[in-house]
Amino acid sequence: MAAAGAEAVVAEDEEKRLPEGDPESGGDSEDEGDSDSSGDGEDEEKENEAEIQRLEEQLSINAFDYNCHLDLIKLLRQEGELVKLRRARQKMSELFPLTEEIWLDWLKDEIKMASESSEREKVYELFERAVKDYICPEIWLEYAQYSIGGIGQEGGIERVRSIFERALTAVGLHVTKGTALWEAYREFENAILETAQPAPGSVPSPEQQQMLCTQLEKIHTLFRRQLGIPLLDMETSYAEYEEWSEDPIPETTIKNYKKALQQLEKCKPYEEALLGAETPKLAEYQAYIDFEMKAGDPARIQLIYERALAENCLVPDLWARYNQYLDRQLKVKELVLSAHDRAVRNCPWTVGLWIRYLLAMERHRVDHSSISEMFEKALNAGFIQATDYVEIWQAYLDYLRRRVDFTQDSSKELEELRSAFARAVEYLKQEVEERFSESGDPSCTIMQNWARVEARLCNNMQKARELWDNIMTKGNAKYANMWLEYYNLERAHGDTQHCRKALHRAVQCTSDYPEHVCEVLLTLERIEGTLEDWDAAVQKTENRLARVNEQRAKAAEKEAALAKLEEEKAEQRKQARAEKKASKKAKKARSGEKRKADDDDEGEWGQEEEAEQPSKRHKGDGLLEEDMEVEMGLFGRSGPEKPDRPANQKEKATTSRKDIPKVLHDSSKDNVTVFVSNLSYNMAEPEVKLKELFESCGEVAEIRPVFSNKGTFRGYCYVEFKEEKSARQALGLDRQAVEGRPMFVSPCVDKNKHPDFKVFRYSTTLEKHKLFISGLPFSCTKEELEDVCKAHGNVKDIRLVTNRAGKPKGLAYVEYENEAQASQAVLKMDGLTVKEHVIKVMISNPPLRKLPDKAEAGRASQFAVPRQVYGARGKGRTQLSMVPRALQRQGNPVAKAENGMVQNSAAASSAPPEEPKKMSNADFAKMLLKK
């Protein structure tokens, strides 16, 4: 809205005074109070100018950057650049519906500038645009009050009444905010009534009397209309009407008032839920919408949808449901098309909204040029998936196909359709594939539809064959369903010769289901072929199937060989670990005997044996305490001698291990217990540390840390609460850093009863509002990453991915408020350099987790016990052995025998006599096979 002449002079003056004038018109500048500091002011002004230039350049690259528009408008308003501010607001309003706050700021700025009648008309036009974006009671009220200032002009009063009536139609049913409009309308009519009153002491003329009666009736009508609508504080309005009216209130009005009160009582729970809910209030609005849908009043349904959209304008599903209701129920052209237009302007990245808009335009017979223009806008909307472009092209091609009269051999519409098909194929190949590294249409559905149109509607089978030949050259020749699709088209609109040719090629090329294609070929020849055709088909299919079976057999042999090789490698690793373990035990036993001989010169072999026995029992030899006493009795030793012998270092270690109680868990308390893992092994007094941490969730009944045989903390424990809700709340502490490591908190579940139970805190599906960033430097902090990301939208959460030790992996997830901001961030941040590292940014869509096959799981379970038996020395310390040691010893008898053979005479004198008693027949069989 650039002005000329005197208006330009006014604009210049306003640019100079706008920042230091009314605080509402940009007076919130931080340097307002520092006018004396000219140097600081100049520096800040230069910084703002540079930022304005940067934002303008950014918008020239990507005009759909919503936050960039907001920042530019804010800076221009702060600097008082009114002409640029108007231009910036204008550009943004062309791309997006503006929020209530943006419109009110814009309108207030323009109202201050409007002094002449021509300028007032421009403000009226601006109000008309504002009320179309969203249904906002505040904007309608501002519009009506502004129009009252022009009642002195010709037709001014009627114009005000027209605006008030439109406002009541739009938002007069608003339960919480509609009353203000009704009262403002009545106040305006009361003011008109006051001006129509005759002077005191004078007798009104018949014309004046008629005018007074008419004006009084208008106010009566407004009261009666308002009292028939469920609005908050209806009782006050009714009391005001009783006080104002000289006549009794009509019975019909009272009846409508009581009915409205009853309806208000039904609406109140939904209004109260909205007042108490936090943004975005989607669930509360949906419940309100369902309530109004059951009541069936179209005006109220439309209003509640509009209220929901005013607060959730970036929710595509809400727009889709609203537009579907308008398309199927109201079917009013202006209303329907306006809603669709606002939907695509709010959520331009959602292809479904664009498709519905094109269909609505065609349904309401909008001219072809407008539909084509809207389609071009859709192509530039910036969809986030390649398949979205395929869908929008298909919708537009369907529209063009419906325009063609196929009874004519040639027409302008048909040529336009063919041209659009060719453009679509080229667009997907170049534009889409360049951006997404895929065309989004691997099975060439658009070319298939083009071929069907040519064959069925244009009788141009030659063109259809050319298209199908092109489809097959794009990597589709190996799929049986593609060949059968082409065969069916030839069968319906071609000839037998081309059908046979297609099937022969299919038999030769198909790799997924060749049997099916061979069967179709034999069926064709059985019905229509000659003997020579039949023989040729049989020979071709037999040869092909023979080659296929040979290839499958080779593949199976190769797979079996690989599986066998894997098993052999696993067995070799198992034996190597067993030998290493045995050698370490033998070395440890020899060094232990040497230390004992030095410590106790008077010791005998039997005493060394006694010292070893408790250690062996603790390690899981399977011997009961009674068995130990019998064994010592055979060697002439008695139990009471043990406490009299000197206590050496190994005995102390053994005693400390014996004093550690076994941590038992009562599965009946799983609902009030959480399992805590990945804690630091060096944590001092884990009970005290964890109790302080978990007491914030509720009263802690018991903390049971798990210790190793040597008395060291093993990094995990059970935390039992008094109440179940405390345990559920404790799960929220998952991944919290404790002593530099992320603490894992999970439900306490018996894996024996629920082997498939998994706890994964984060979503593994496509999240369009969340980004996945890789390639980050390990030194990058959460705050530094947030500074980079917040320039492209409101960042709700940032999660830096770490390993179990809490070390960064150079990965992060960034959650934005909506899909639009996330898509803009992808475009801007992908390939960005952060601390000399080039990062990759994409929409979060983790790959599906691969579950092991049953056969592989079976093989893994066979080796699970041996891998645990020989310790975790070659692994990370966090891979804890959860198999009881007694079971481990039973699962590996060979290693046990080897240990006994390697031990010296002292160990051999005690262990071997009892060893055979603990071995099963299967264990002996394995030993013999080993020999």
Specify the pLDDT at position 41: 64
DSSP secondary structure code for residue 754 in this structure: -
As a residue count, the chain comes to 931
Instruction: Identify the band that residue 860 occupies on the pLDDT scale cut at 50, 70 and 90.
Output: very low
CA angle 205, 210, 213 (to 5 degrees): 125
798 beta partners:
814
Q: What confidence tens digit (pLDDT) does each residue in 274-300 have? A: 999 988 899 999 999 999 999 999 999
Q: Could you give the C-alpha distances from 819 to 356, 387, 813, in angstroms and in order?
A: 19, 17, 14
Q: Residue 119 — pLDDT band, cuts 50, 70, 90?
A: confident
- Whether the pLDDT of residue 151 is over 70: the answer is yes
HSE (side-chain half, CA atoms, 13 Å) at 423: 12
Where does residue 114 fall: left (phi above 0), alpha (psi -120 to 50 degrees), or beta otherwise? beta
Residue 652 — very low, low, confident or very high, per pLDDT cuts 50/70/90?
very low
Cα separation, 32 vs 18, whole angstroms: 12
How far is residue 498's CA from residue 501's CA, in Å, rounded to a whole number? 5
Mean pLDDT of 156-165: 93
129, 96 in Cβ contact below 8 A? no
The DSSP code sequence of 526-585 is HHH--HHHHHHHHHHHHHHHHHHHHHHHHHHHHHHHHHHHHHHHHHHHHHHHHHHHHHHH
Q: How confident is the model at residue 803 (pLDDT cuts 50, 70, 90)?
A: confident
Tell me the per-residue pLDDT of 338-380, one tens digit each, with 9 for 90 and over.
999 999 988 988 999 999 999 999 999 999 999 999 999 999 8
Asked whether the predicted pLDDT for residue 4 surpasses 80, the reply is: no
The per-residue pLDDT for range 713-769, each reduced to its tens digit, is 888 899 999 888 889 888 888 888 888 788 889 888 776 666 666 555 566 677 888
What pLDDT, on the 0 to 100 scale, is given for residue 779?
87
Average pLDDT over residues 682-690: 86
Residue at token pair 């090629």: 505
Lowest mean pLDDT among 475-489, 560-574, 887-901: 887-901
The 10s digit of each residue's pLDDT in 67-93 is 899 999 999 988 888 888 999 999 999
pLDDT at 876 over 80: no
From CA 277, how far away is CA 282, in angstroms rounded? 9
Binning pLDDT at 50, 70 and 90, where does residue 604 land? very low
Q: Which of 168-182, 328-342, 864-878 has the lowest mean pLDDT?
A: 864-878
Q: Is 133 exposed, middle or buried (0-12, 13-18, 19+ CB in 10 A)?
A: buried
Q: What is the pLDDT of residue 79?
A: 86
Average pLDDT over residues 102-110: 92
First to last CA, the chain: 99
Per-residue pLDDT, averaged over 556-574, amounts to: 92
The pLDDT assigned to 596 comes to 52
Residue 46 has pLDDT above 80, yes or no: yes
Q: For residue 607, is pLDDT > 90?
A: no
pLDDT in tens, 817-852: 888 788 778 877 888 888 888 898 888 887 665 544
Angle between helices 333-346 and 351-363 (to 10 degrees): 160
Q: Give me the pLDDT at residue 919, please.
A: 57
Q: What per-residue confidence (pLDDT) applies to 594? A: 55
Mean pLDDT of the chain: 80
Rounded percentage of the chain residues whose pLDDT exceeds 70: 77
In which element (H, E) is residue 616 found?
helix 605-618
Comparison of pLDDT for 818 and 182, the residue scoring more? 182
Residue 880, Cβ density class (10 Å: 0-12 exposed, 13-18 middle, ≥19 buried): middle
pLDDT band of residue 917 (cuts 50, 70, 90) is: very low
Per-residue pLDDT band for 167 (boundaries 50, 70, 90) equals very high
User: Could you report the per-residue pLDDT of 305-342, keeping only the tens digit for each?
Assistant: 999 999 898 899 999 999 999 999 989 999 999 999 99
pLDDT digits (tens, 9 = 90+) for 527-543: 999 999 999 999 999 99
pLDDT confidence bin for 195, thresholds 50/70/90: confident
At residue 255, does pLDDT exceed 90?
yes
The closest alpha carbon to 718, from 691, 737, 740, 742, belongs to 691
Residue 802 or residue 500, greater confidence: 500
Proportion of the chain above pLDDT 90, given as a percent: 44
Q: Identify the residue with better confidence: 421 or 880.
A: 421
Question: Per-residue pLDDT averaged across 400-414, rounded?
Answer: 91
Integer Cα distance of 544 and 504 in angstroms: 11
Helices (H), 771-853: 782-789, 819-829
